[in-house]
Amino acid sequence: MSVTYIDAIHQALDELLAEDPAVFLLGEDIAGKFGGAFKATKGLDAKYPGRVMNAPIAEDAIAGVGIGAALGGMKPILEMQFADFGTLALNQTGNNAGAHFYRTGMPVNITLRMPCGGTPGGGPYHSQSLEALFAHYPGLHVFTPATVADAYYMLKQAVQIPDPVVFLEHKFLYRWLKADTWVDPNPLPIGQARIARPGQHATVVTFSAMVPEALRAAEELAATSGYELEVVDLRSVKPLDVETILDSVARTARLLVVSEDFPWGGVAAEVVAQVSAHGFHLLDAPPLRLSAQDTPIPAHPDLWKAHRPSAASIADAARYLISL
């Protein structure tokens, strides 16, 4: 029997509530029969009375309550129904939670779960990938799990970190991504990237839902052209594991960075900047970025597919890079 990405998140939440009385959940429609917009918390309010609580549609207030509870010794896990509307809590998240330890020496242990990324029909207000926006703030960790096991382990690790964590769960992966189990006998520590596929002709650095796309592109190129792509799954964009990226580029001498985010000021640009600054001598060709289009995200399924990188566009970009 397989388990899904959202099964792993539900299991992690269940265990966190069972293991630590300081943990509680707060979010929009997460309690009761609804169990959250994507059912990640379904049934948990009955199992843990008084610790799974509905909040008004007021993201700034949700974050503010979480910060206050954390300063009182609690470990709140806050659910923003969509990452797009997490922007309404930027003042609390970035200016208050992110800077609080620096200003006072008191940590703010909050975990903000945010369903992110696009799905067919999502449109411009329910599809954005805003990891770079949150990573811009000092003091915030930004996690972007791309596997069932990472969805489970990284959520549990997030709650153990005394700093605020923005935990970005890609909606497309919720029920599409499956595995035999969420158990990993050797889970990686926070801040360490994963070599999802070894290769020798080019490095593809990516994260979240672009990891499966990159892996499919790598399989296609291996079958049709004989090129072997090394796929690096960042796992978190902050902290960013520059060392693993540089080690991979040292093996392949070429870099393609793939992101579902908009191109301007994104994680892909930061990775290229880091490699250009610290590993320029390793490159045999200019580094390339492949991101979403610089337009609002369309709702029509065909336009949505054309807006974001795909296995086919990644393969095309890698083929071009290797030809240089």
The strand pair at 229-233 and 194-197 is best described as antiparallel
Measure the CA dihedral 266/95/138/149, to 10°: -70
Measure the CA dihedral 116/118/122/128, to 10°: 60
Q: For residue 151, give Cα distances in angstroms to 3, 29, 157, 222.
A: 12, 21, 10, 28
Q: Do residues 140 and 237 touch, judged by C-beta distance below 8 A?
A: no
Q: Do residues 164 and 110 touch, judged by C-beta distance below 8 A?
A: yes
126 noted as active-site residue = yes
The amino acid present at 95, given as its one-letter code, is N
Q: State the DSSP code for 85.
A: G
Q: Of 10, 100, 126, 307, which residue is the catalytic one? A: 126
Residue 290 has phi, psi (to 5 degrees) of: -135, 110
The amino acid present at 241, given as its one-letter code, is D
Which residues does the annotation mark as catalytic? 126
